[in-house]
Structure 1
Amino acid sequence: MYIKLQKLFLLLVFLGLGAQAQEKKYEIQTIAFYNCENLFDTIRDPKIYDEEWTPTGAQAWTSKKYNKKLSNLAKVMSQIGTDDNTKMPAIIGVAEIENRGVLEDLVRQPLLAPGDYGIAHFDSPDRRGIDVALLYQKKHFKVTNSTAHPLYIYDMNKVDRTTGEKGVRIYTRDQLLVSGNLDGEEVHFIVNHWPSRVGGEKKSSPLREAAAALNKKIIDSLYTINPNAKVITMGDMNDGPYNNSMKKVLQTAGKKEDLKPQGLFNPMEKMSKDGLGTLAYRDAWDVFDQMVVTEPYMRGDYSAWGFWKARIYKKPFMVQPTGQYKGYPLRNSNGEPGYSDHFPVYIYLIREMK
C-alpha cells in the first residue's frame, strides 16, 4: 500500500518535508505486538501447569471456548493498524501462547488466513508453559535467522535441593530474536515477556532489570555486527516506560531530541505521560506493552524503512462495557473467552516508493 497524497498532510508535517516532497509516495507496514492472555489448547500437557485450561479444569476449557478465543484474537489482529494501512500487520509479536500448535490454529483462522503468516517460535522453560512468538507475512518478510535467548535469574532466598547451593533458578520466558528481510531490507525483531510483578513491584523489579540487561546485550551484539542495525524490541515488559528496566538499563529516550547515536527510542513514553494505557489494575492504567526502536529508524532517511508513529489498538468491541471493570480490556472471565487483559500496540514503518 502507499499513502495517498490527500491523506499525507500530517505525515509531511511530522517529517518536515518541503513542497518537493509532496509529490513523493510512501509505502507503509504495520508492526504489532499482542499479549494473547492464556491462549491454551484443551489438551493436558504433563510437562507444564496447564490443568486449569482443560475441559475438566477450573476454566472448563472446551473446544468451543478455545475456538471462540482463536476467533476473537484473529478479529483483533486482522484489524490492527487498518486506520492508516489497509493491509494486515506484516509482523505480529505475541505472548502468552502455549505452544506452536495454538499458533498454527490461530494463523488458520479465516480472518488471518489471507495473510499467509509464518511462525517463529521456540518452547520456553516457563513453568506455566507460556511462550512468545513472531508471526510474519511470508510475502513481506523472509526469515534469515531465529534464536531463543534464555534468561537466567535466581531466587537467592532458596536452596537448590539437588546441589545444596544457594539460589534456585526462576524459569521464565526466553527472548526471541528473529532476523530477516522486510520487503528486501534487513531488520531484526525481539519478542519479550518479562517476569511478572508477583511479590510486588519493588521486590520483583530486579528480575525485569535482568531481562532488560539481556535485551540490551542482544541489541548491542547486533550493533557490533552492524552499527546501523534496525532493531524493534517489543513485548509485555511488566514495567512501564519510566521504570528502571527501561530508563536505567535499556536507557531508552522518550524524545527524539534526547536520542543518542545507537540509542533506543521509546514512543510509548509519551503515551504513558498522557495517561494512556494497555492494561489497568485497580483503576490505574499503565503501558506494559511496549515497542522500542533503535536509533537508525529515527534518522529521517526514508529511502529505507523509518519510524512514523506508534499507537495502542483499542476498539469498543475489545472493551468491557459494564460492571466493576467497565472500560477495562474485555478479558477471559468466569471460564468464558474474551479477547485479552491487554490492548495490543503497534507502530508504522514507512519508506519512499521507488
Structure 2
Amino acid sequence: MQIVLRPSFNIVASFVFLVILANFSIACRPKTTQQISSSQPAVNHGQVKMVFYNLENLFDTINDPANPGDDDYTPNGKGKWTTDRYQHKLNNLWRVIEATNDGQPPEIFGVCEVENNQVLTDLIHKTVLPDHYKTVHYPSPDERGIDVALVYNPDIFTVLESKNLNITLPNNDYTRDILWVHGKIANQYELHIFLNHWPSRHSNDKTLSEGNRIKAATVLKTKCDAIFKKNPDANIIIMGDFNDHPNDKSIVETLGAKGISAANNKTQLINITAELDSTKGGSYRYQGKWERIDQVIVSRAMVHKTAGLKVLPEETGYFKADFMLYNDNKWGRMPNRTFGRDFKYFGGYSDHIPAYATFTW
C-alpha cells in the first residue's frame, strides 16, 4: 500500500520517521555491546586503585585429572558445581570487584584461590569486564589446586617480566607460589608487584603452621632484598592473603614490614594496613572478630617520596558493602560466601573482603 503525504506535512512526517528509525536502531543494538561500552575503565591520569581479593575457590566445572583439588567442583562433585553456579559465581565476584572502584573496573587487581588461567579468562570475557584486560598466572604445586594471579589494564600497566617464586615446605608439603610481576605503570614508573597466598593457619601443629608462613616470608624477603640492592628507592607493592596478622612474626620480623608509626629510617617495607582500626573492619571474620590477614605492604620510598609513584595511606582499607554480607545469628554481619560447611550452597561471593590501596604520581 502506498502512503501519500499531504505536501504541508512532508517535513514533519519525515522528521517523525527519522526519529522512529533512530530509536528502533538503538533498541536493536546487541546487549553485549552496550554492556562493554558502559564498563570501559576510567583511566585516571595520575591515580590508580589496586585491589586484592581472595575469590574463595574459583574453579571451572571441568574435571582436570592433573588437579585432584578440583574434584569437588564439578557437576558430579560434592559442590554440584554446574555451569549455572559457576556463572553466578563469576557475576558475583565481578560485582564486588567493580564496586571497589566506584562502579568502574580497577586498573590492577590481584586475586588468589583461582584454579587456572581459564577461570581468569572467563572472569574477563563472561562478565562486563573490558575484554582487553590481561592476566599473569603460573600454575603452582598447591595441594588444593589453587593459585594467585594478576589482572590488569594494559593501557595503564605494562608487564616487563614475571616469575613464580616457589616455596619449599618441610615434609614434602606444597603451597601456593608467590607471583612476582615487574612492569611499568603509566609508561613512566617501574613497579614490582608481589601477590601472595601464604600457608593456612588451620593446623593441629601451630608451630609447623607458623614456620610455613615464615618460610614464605623468607622467600619474599630474599627477592625484595635483591631488588633493593639494585635500587634502594624501588617501587614495590606486596599484596595478598598472608594468613597472618600485621603484628605476627612472619610479617614483622622475617619480612621486616612495619606500620608507618613503627617504622624507622632502616625500615624498607611499610605495612599500610597495619594501623587500620581493626574494630572497623578487616578482610576475614573469625568467630565474630574482623582480622586483617589480607594486607597491602609497600616500599618505604612509596610512602615518603614527594614526587613520582607513591601511595596514599589514607585511601587504603577494606571494601565492605551490605550486599556482600549476611547476618549470622551468633556472629553478626559476615561475608556471604559461596559454600558453607559440608558444601552447603549459599551462592554468595567470597569468605573474604577485598583489600585496596590508592597510588598516585
State whether TM-score is above 0.5.
yes
Q: Deviations over 1:38-85 (max 9, x none)?
A: 000111111222111011111101000000000011111112132xxx
Query: Residue 31 in 1 paired to residue 37 in 2?
Result: no
The match for 2:143 among 124, 127, 134 is: 127
Query: What is the aligned partner in structure 2 of residue 197 from structure 1?
Result: 201
Q: Deviations over 1:4-38 (max 9, x none)?
A: xxxxxxxxxxxxxxxxxxxxxx8310011000000
Query: What is the aligned partner in structure 2 of residue 281 from structure 1?
Result: 286
Separation (CA, whole Å) in 2 of partners of 1:95 and 1:345: 12
**CA RMSD, 1 decimal:** 1.9
Query: Residue 171 in 1 paired to residue 174 in 2?
Result: yes
**How far 1:110 moved relative to its partner?**
3.4
Q: Given the superposition, is the C-alpha separation of residues 346 and 276 from structure 1 closer, same or farther in structure 2, using an over 3 Å criterion?
A: same
**How far 1:226 moved relative to its partner?**
1.6
Query: What is the aligned partner in structure 1 of residue 338 from structure 2?
Result: 332
SS of the equivalent of 1:328 reads: strand
Question: Residues 76-87 of structure 1: matches in 2 within 5 Å?
Answer: 76-82=96-102, 87=104
The match for 1:67 among 80, 84, 87 is: 87
SS of the equivalent of 2:336 reads: coil
Separation (CA, whole Å) in 2 of partners of 1:252 and 1:218: 14
Query: What is the aligned partner in structure 1 of residue 118 from structure 2?
Result: 101
Separation (CA, whole Å) in 1 of partners of 2:140 and 2:317: 28
Between structure 1 and structure 2, the one with the greater Rg is 2
Query: What is the aligned partner in structure 1 of residue 128 from structure 2?
Result: 111
Separation (CA, whole Å) in 1 of partners of 2:129 and 2:302: 28
Q: Deviations over 1:156-202 (max 9, x none)?
A: xxxxxxxxxxxxx1111000000101102110100000000131544
SS of the equivalent of 1:221 reads: helix
**How far 1:252 moved relative to its partner?**
1.3
**How far 1:243 moved relative to its partner?**
0.6
Separation (CA, whole Å) in 1 of partners of 2:325 and 2:101: 17
Separation (CA, whole Å) in 1 of partners of 2:348 and 2:43: 34
**How far 1:206 moved relative to its partner?**
0.6
Separation (CA, whole Å) in 1 of partners of 2:262 and 2:165: 32
Query: Residue 53 in 1 paired to residue 63 in 2?
Result: no
Q: Given the superposition, is the C-alpha separation of residues 70 and 212 from structure 1 closer, same or farther in structure 2, using an over 3 Å criterion?
A: same
In 2, are the aligned partners of 1:30 and 1:88 still within 8 Å (CA)? no
Counterpart amino acid of residue 194 in structure 1: W
In 2, are the aligned partners of 1:256 and 1:298 still within 8 Å (CA)? no
Query: What is the aligned partner in structure 1 of residue 16 from structure 2?
Result: none
Query: What is the aligned partner in structure 2 of residue 349 from structure 1?
Result: 359
Query: What is the aligned partner in structure 2 of residue 213 from structure 1?
Result: 218
**How far 1:327 moved relative to its partner?**
0.7
In 1, are the aligned partners of 2:149 and 2:179 still within 8 Å (CA)? yes
Separation (CA, whole Å) in 2 of partners of 1:326 and 1:257: 33
Structure 2 unmatched runs, 5+: 1-41
Query: What is the aligned partner in structure 2 of residue 258 from structure 1?
Result: 263
Q: Deviations over 1:62-109 (max 9, x none)?
A: 000000000011111112132xxx753121010000000000000114
SS of the equivalent of 2:85 reads: helix
Q: Given the superposition, is the C-alpha separation of residues 262 and 248 from structure 1 closer, same or farther in structure 2, using an over 3 Å criterion?
A: closer
Query: Residue 41 in 1 paired to residue 57 in 2?
Result: no
Q: Given the superposition, is the C-alpha separation of residues 247 and 238 from structure 1 closer, same or farther in structure 2, using an over 3 Å criterion?
A: same
TM-score in terms of structure 2 length: 0.82
Query: Residue 318 in 1 paired to residue 324 in 2?
Result: yes
**How far 1:323 moved relative to its partner?**
3.8
Structure 1 unmatched runs, 5+: 4-25, 156-168
Query: What is the aligned partner in structure 2 of residue 306 from structure 1?
Result: 310
Q: Given the superposition, is the C-alpha separation of residues 87 and 75 from structure 1 closer, same or farther in structure 2, using an over 3 Å criterion?
A: closer
**How far 1:203 moved relative to its partner?**
3.9
Query: Residue 142 in 1 paired to residue 158 in 2?
Result: yes
**How far 1:150 moved relative to its partner?**
0.3
